[in-house]
Amino acid sequence: MRNELEIRNEQGMEKYYMAAMGGAEGFGNRSIKKLVDFCGSAKEAWSADIDDLVHAGVLPKPLDAFVNFRGKHPNAPENLFKYCERHEFNLCSFYDEDYPPLLKELNKDTPPMFFYYRGKLEPLAERVGIVGSRQNTQYGQTVALELGEELAAAGLTVVSGAARGIDTFAHCGALKTGRTVAVLGCGIEIAFRSGKKKFFEQMIERGVVLSEFPPQLPPNQGTFPPRNRIIAGLCRGVIVVEAGKKSGALITSDLALDYDRDVFAIPGQIYAEKSVGCNELIRAGAMLIKNAQDVLDEYNIKKTAPIIKAATVEGVAAKVLEVIPSDKFITEDEILMQVEEINPSELPNIMLELEMKNCIIEEAGRYKKVETKNKIVKAVEVGGVAAKILEIIPFDKFITDDEILDRVEEINPSELPNIMIELERKNCIVEEIGRYKRKVGG
């Protein structure tokens, strides 16, 4: 009778042999694929003799790296299995059923042969990427939050790189209404041991955190371009919110074009440093978008009726928010001096929570309150005919009662004034001289 290890080797250990190969520095996805395809399985490749390894067509330098690594760590696959069980990390290989099919279509690039993850994979989900500058402006923060929230509410999974700035706000917006995927530029254990652990824990409840790198690998210059190719590869389209002339977000958009994905860009002021990259993308042919609806229209996805969710700030976080001014930036040290009951080690998570709720904006490690976004909003739902009316009111221009009546046939004209008052009261629209415009966030 076969023992437990033999059964595991046949059924579940294959991916761990493959991932163990990735532990050899310089032995990348292309080499792993060649070796596995030649030998028939990762298990066979792990134990193959030198002649077979040479005939597989792997170049000498990566082949030497693999042979040396295997010699030093003969039990690496089994040790990796135990490590992942202990840390609750899952592993997905190129040959697994839950490997996203779209990620296999990278044209000239080799897809990741495996990746570590936490959360629930949905390989057939419709995904859109949102990327941009780490040093975002308040404009970028607002746009990223709204795009993430509205695209996720419409059923799209929002993908980004979990970096500070636009990435984080895109994830935060998506977490309010739907799913998000974070693609890391470091090992997965590094992320869950960082100051953003709480943020990642929230993400795995509503999506996935994944990385193709060894779990304990810190981020470095070489890890971000491969991370960017996964973001582009997972998505049907990529949105660039803010990007300077040399922003890494432009690498992601270039890769998206290489993979025949759509590229969208948010326009900015012509003199704004953080919008140079976006404006150049638009000039080169990227699709200019003003809001989530433009993306949904492009993909023929109907937007769901809006729900304004509660954004409550309580406890110590409320006290921290109270001392942050709206007219200037202050440091964490200044906050700690004014809020005595806070533990300094807890402050980074509190500041992240306040950023996620769009209560503050961060710039070079200093914080300022967002005046128009720091109010507690009560949860309201718009349904029935009111929802249909709200759906046709644009964000970017005012329209009249007559234009609304032309588009919503089932409404009685005498009922419209009361419905518009209801939408104004719920902070969904703004009225100006008898004309109406959808309110951002409404």
Q: What is the domain-level CATH number for residue 387?
A: 1.10.10.10
Domain edge (last residue) among 373, 391, 418: 373
- pLDDT of 381: 59
Determine contact, residues 308/177, Cβ cutoff 8 Å.
no
Q: Is residue 99 part of a domain?
A: no
- pLDDT of 7: 43
Give the residues of the chain that fall short of pLDDT 70: 1-11, 303-312, 371-382, 440-442
- Beta bridge partners, 430, equal 437
Q: Is residue 28 part of a domain?
A: yes
Q: Are residues 243 and 261 in the same domain?
A: yes
Q: Which two tokens stand for residue 307?
A: 């729900």
CA nearest neighbour of 126 among 145, 102, 143:
102
Task: Tell me how far apart the alpha carbons of residues 243 and 330 are, in angstroms, rounded to a whole number.
Answer: 25
Q: Are residues 337 and 205 in the same domain?
A: no
Q: Which domain covers residue 291, as residue numbers?
A: 117-303
Q: Are residues 339 and 434 in the same domain?
A: no
CA nearest neighbour of 291 among 134, 164, 178, 437:
437
CA nearest neighbour of 435 among 425, 420, 414:
420
Q: Is residue 310 part of a domain?
A: no
- pLDDT of 371: 65
Q: Are residues 36 and 155 in the same domain?
A: no
Q: Is residue 93 part of a domain?
A: no
- pLDDT of 138: 86
Determine contact, residues 386/418, Cβ cutoff 8 Å.
no
- pLDDT of 316: 83
Q: Which two tokens stand for residue 76?
A: 């690496």
Q: Are residues 250 and 200 in the same domain?
A: yes
Task: Tell me how far apart the alpha carbons of residues 366 and 329 are, in angstroms, rounded to a whole number.
Answer: 6
- DSSP readout, 249-276? HHHHHHHHHHTT-EEEE----TT-GGGH
CATH (domain of 284): 3.40.50.450
CA distances 362 to 134, 167, 228, Å, are 10, 14, 24
Task: Tell me how far apart the alpha carbons of residues 198 and 202 are, in angstroms, rounded to a whole number.
Answer: 6
Q: Is residue 309 part of a domain?
A: no
14: exposed, middle or buried (Cβ count in 10 Å: 0-12, 13-18, 19+) = buried
Task: Tell me how far apart the alpha carbons of residues 383 and 268 are, in angstroms, rounded to a whole number.
Answer: 34
- pLDDT of 379: 38
Q: Which residue has the tokens 């008052």?
A: 421
Q: Are residues 321 and 428 in the same domain?
A: no
Q: Is residue 122 part of a domain?
A: yes
Q: Are residues 267 and 322 in the same domain?
A: no
Q: What is the pLDDT of residues 318-356, one digit of tens each?
A: 889 989 988 889 999 899 888 888 888 888 888 888 887
Determine contact, residues 165/133, Cβ cutoff 8 Å.
yes
Q: What is the pLDDT of residues 352-383, one digit of tens each?
A: 888 877 788 888 788 988 864 333 333 345 67
Q: Is residue 92 part of a domain?
A: no
Q: Which two tokens stand for residue 217?
A: 């690998």
Domain edge (last residue) among 86, 105, 129: 86
Q: Are residues 324 and 299 in the same domain?
A: no
Q: Are residues 195 and 288 in the same domain?
A: yes
- pLDDT of 64: 93
Domain edge (last residue) among 303, 326, 361: 303
The tally of domains found in the chain comes to 4
Q: Are residues 185 and 229 in the same domain?
A: yes
Q: Are residues 391 and 276 in the same domain?
A: no
Q: Are residues 207 and 270 in the same domain?
A: yes
